[in-house]
Chains A and B, each alone.
Chain A
Amino acid sequence: MDITALLLSRLQFALTVSFHIIFPSFTIGLAAWLTVLESLHLATGRPVYRVLFEFWVQIFAVAFGFGVVSGIVMAFEIGTNWSEFSRMSGPIQGVLLSYETFTAFALEAGFLGVLLFGRQKVAPWFYLFSASMVAVGTTLSAFWIMINNSWMQVPVGYVVENGMFAPDDWTKIIFNSVVWSRFPHMLLASYLTGAFCVAATGAWYRLRKVYHAESRIMLRMGLGLAAVLMPIQLLFGHLTGGYVNTYQPSKMAAIEGRWNDEKPASEVLLAWPDVQTRRNLFAITLPPPFGSLIDADSLTAGETGLNSIAPDDWPPVLIPFFTFRIMVGCGILMLALAWIGTYLSRDGSLARNRPMLWLTFLSFPLPFVAILTGWVTAEVGRQPWAVYGVLRTADAMTPFLTRREATISLIVYCATYTFIFAFGIFYIYRLLRAGPLGPDVLTPPASIPSPPLHVDAKLDTAHVLHVPAEE
């Protein structure tokens, strides 16, 4: 394959957006979990919830900061590398992004400061309110971004005017069924990410035999939440597949490794799709009508194969085919872990089950892998279109962008991200390793005056030290 400015730009966008999504998907879930912890603390008065809150809010601060700085890149990159796209879709997508910025900024600017530095300055109910507003803010952010991306997947409610996509029906753009299957899918993915990170941290402490009370709550809440959410997530995943089946036949055919039209269709579980010969090698296939059943909830529905789509309109087949299967695999593993873990923690035997603790500890990459592969399936599967069926990716690029410029920017972003990511992960690891009583934890993350916080955190943790392990 030729190294063109187009290829480099696509690589760059894929890299920067993948780097970015790691942090929001973590913080959206974490913000909700912090709100729950604070509610529990207010409701029960148990100091352990407060300790956990003070601990996770530190991690939240670092991850949130990374999400913000890596998100700013996106807002500029769309214009620098995809100027044609940005000009044409600005009237819709620019407007949606401005809503994201405005609403998120309004909520976060107002309440994040309170959350991080203001515990001593406001009433407890207002502190809880601030935590929930930060959670609402991160959720709203995700909402606007999902509308934005869904419009690229299934463009609706627009007319073409002066070479631009002019909106003519905002309700269609915002309240269409595609948004309302994809937004919950992403939101649940974020909650699951938070849940698994919390559970894995709990398992880690349990394995190291530290922080008994805290790790018990982290394990129970993390796995318990995942056990409830995972089946719902599978349902929304299925609904998301429904829109692909209806609106994006080329993506569906690539995901399913389906070459010929079939009615009813079979289902390829695993294979190596060979694009040259247009067939699947080493295929493990379920007979019809399983394909129709899975893709279209029907025993008889016909499914389109790649052979009846012009090869110019094919996505790269291998990438969505495999990333989709990795995502589903991660989902099934998470479901199994969450259910088994929750079952074991009913009578407290999870705490003694070292293999299960190890598995839980090692599970924290699963939700991230699932989110990244899911997004790759959605985005690579949409190719060769930037706006499905309307604007090709090749036509979306800045027409005069040179290979040299694209190379320089790719290198600069790679270098910058590697540098800050390495340190960011290291510091988050150090915070997590030290745990709720670690030396770093008793220091607030940035510079705002709140000395009483330390005193209070110490009091609470001191209190916890006297709470006997409850198992």
Chain B
Amino acid sequence: MVLFWATLLAVSILLYVLLDGFDLGIGMLFGMATGEPRKHGMMSAVAPVWDGNETWLVVAGVILWGAFPVVYSILMSAFYLPVLLMVAGLILRGVSFELRYKATRMRWIWNASFAGGSLVASFMQGLMVGALVEGLPVSGVRYAGGEFGCLSPFAVLCGAGLCVGYALLGACWLVRKSEYEVRDHAYRIIPYLATALLLFLIVVFAYALAEHLSVMTRWLDRPSLFVFPVAGTLAAIALAASVHGREDALPFPMVAVIFVAAFGTLAISFWPYMIPFSITIDQAAAPRTSLAFMFWGEGLFVFPLMLLYTVVSLTVFRGKTTASSAADHY
């Protein structure tokens, strides 16, 4: 039962990172885009799906609270300011979709809040992951690190790294969903973003070695974990090839594989810890009566339905959003 909910939590987080990752990435690229047609094209590529994508964050949040209340309580209180800024960023990003098209003279405000909100939310998510990987000071069932305990050079680096990663996902989504100028521009920036992401991963690796993070030692003990980095590397090569050959459909899944590889590396190298290295999945789990009640209703029936809806909605809006169809809506 504990394992079931740990798996569902992992799936929800992964889906959130992949799905809202490209939304947020496009939001950041949007900030650098010039000209209304390009901005419009970028927004159209995510407008129908962002809402459902963001919901996975809430799903992950409530699974965490219901099934692993100790971890929810420690993480939220430890990341007080990052969570606050992430939520504020997500609010601004979210309302921009609706309000940008209702606005006339004020459109620049929503352009700015779309890009700025996406950037802040992405950075904060990376920051939190970085701080968690570095190890949160925990005493008993409470966080014990102080106001800015999560702010370290490593965490900031991870914040920047996730922004780059999301931007890469976003660019690949644009390649997949758009045509002409928007797509061509995305193709031009993918090599830069991919190189930056690679550099980031190398720096993280080096930093981890230098700091002797406890993660690294666990990692070297389990050589089978190298499956994930290898899969990531292969995906990176395939990405380079698909960008070179202008295969519109391929870059996104390849970057997704890189993300899954990184996520898998993280998850398995910490196993069975939820907060490394102080609280394990079993220690964090809610009483059996809670987990069972969740399992027999939402776990068994509703969760598969939600996955189905996600697939269906991505299928309904598959294919290119063409300039002409976009012009029709607004």
Contact A109 B73 (CB under 8 A): no
A79 with B75: CB separation less than 8 A: yes
B residues within 8 A CB of A101?
A: 55, 58-59, 62
A91:B98 contact, CB within 8 angstroms: no
Residues of A within 8 A of B83 (CB): 76, 79-80
Interface string of A226-238 (1 = CB under 8 A from B): 0000000000000
Instruction: Report the nearest B residue to A444, measured CB to CB.
Output: B329
Which B residue sits closest to A110, measured CB to CB?
A: B309
User: Which of B89-97, B194-202, B249-257, B259-267 lines the interface with chain A?
Assistant: B89-97
A89 CA / B316 CA spacing, docked (Å)? 40
Assuming A80-B77, A400-B143, is B306 touching A95 (CB within 8 A)?
no
Let me know if B141 is at the binding interface, CB within 8 A: yes
A174 CA to B310 CA in the complex, in Å?
Answer: 29
Q: Given A69-B91, A106-B309, A446-B48, A76–B298 Cβ distance below 8 Å?
A: no
Q: Which chain B residues lie closer than 8 Å to A66 at the CB level?
A: 95
- Interface assignment of A94: CB less than 8 Å from any CB of chain B: yes
Q: A106 is contacted by which of B74, B286, B293, B302 (Cβ under 8 Å)?
A: B302
Structural contact, B61 and A75, CB atoms closer than 8 A: yes
Interface: A83 (CB within 8 A): yes
Q: How many residues from A make CB contacts under 8 Å with B?
A: 75
Question: Is B73 a contact of A83 with CB atoms below 8 Å?
Answer: yes
Q: In the bound complex, do residue B77 and residue A103 qualify as a contact, i.e. CB atoms below 8 Å apart?
A: no
A170–B97 alpha-carbon span in the complex (Å): 40
- B330 to chain A minimum Cβ distance, whole angstroms, is 7
Interface residues of B in 46-102 (CB under 8 A from A): 47-48, 51-52, 54-55, 57-59, 61-70, 72-77, 79-81, 83-85, 87-88, 90-92, 94-95, 97-99, 101-102
Query: Contact check: which of A68, A98, A161, A398 meets B65 at CB < 8 Å?
Result: A98
Interchain CB contact under 8 A, B66 and A97? yes
> Scoring B residues 119 to 150 as 1 if CB is less than 8 Å from chain A, else 0, what string do you get?
00000000000000000000001111011000
Q: Can you list 25 A-B pairs, Cβ within 8 angstroms, ordered by A?
A: A72-B58, A72-B87, A72-B91, A75-B61, A75-B65, A80-B79, A80-B80, A83-B142, A86-B76, A87-B141, A90-B72, A90-B286, A91-B69, A94-B67, A95-B67, A99-B298, A103-B298, A106-B306, A106-B309, A399-B142, A409-B81, A423-B106, A447-B48, A448-B47, A448-B329
A75 and B58 in contact, given A103-B298, A106-B302, A413-B88 (Cβ under 8 angstroms):
yes
Is B55 in contact with A105, judged by CB distance below 8 angstroms? yes
Q: A94-B286, A402-B147 are in contact. Are A427 and B99 (CB under 8 A)?
A: yes
In the complex the two chains form, is B80's CB within 8 Å of A166's CB?
A: no
How far, in whole Å, are A65 and B294 apart by their CA atoms in the complex? Answer: 27
> Closest residue to A165 on the B side, CB-wise?
B287
B interface majority secondary structure: helix
Question: Which of B61, B103, B144 lies at the interface centre, i.e. has the most chain A CB atoms within 10 A of its CB?
Answer: B61
Interface membership of B271, Cβ < 8 A: no
- Interface residues on chain B, size class: 35 or more
Contact status B80-A164, CB under 8 Å:
no
Q: Which of B52, B62, B70, B303 has the most CB of A within 10 A?
A: B62
Query: In the complex, A405→B80 CA distance in Å?
Result: 8
B7 within 8 A of A: no
**Could you say which of B69, B84, B94, B329 contacts A65, with CB atoms under 8 Å apart?**
B94
A314 CA / B323 CA spacing, docked (Å): 63
Find out whether the CB atom of A68 lies under 8 angstroms from the CB atom of B330.
Answer: no
Are B90 and A69 in contact, CB atoms less than 8 angstroms apart?
Answer: yes
B329 and A449 within 8 A (CB): yes
B69 / chain A contacts, CB cutoff of 8 Å: 86-91, 94, 164
Q: Does A438 contact B (CB under 8 A)?
A: no
CB-defined contacts of B47 to chain A, threshold 8 Å? 446-448
A-contacting residues, B172-222, CB 8 Å? none
Min CB distance B143 to A, Å, is 7
Closest to B57 in A: A72
Is the CB–CB distance between A73 and B87 below 8 Å? yes
Asked if A102 is at the interface of the complex by the 8 Å CB criterion, the answer is yes
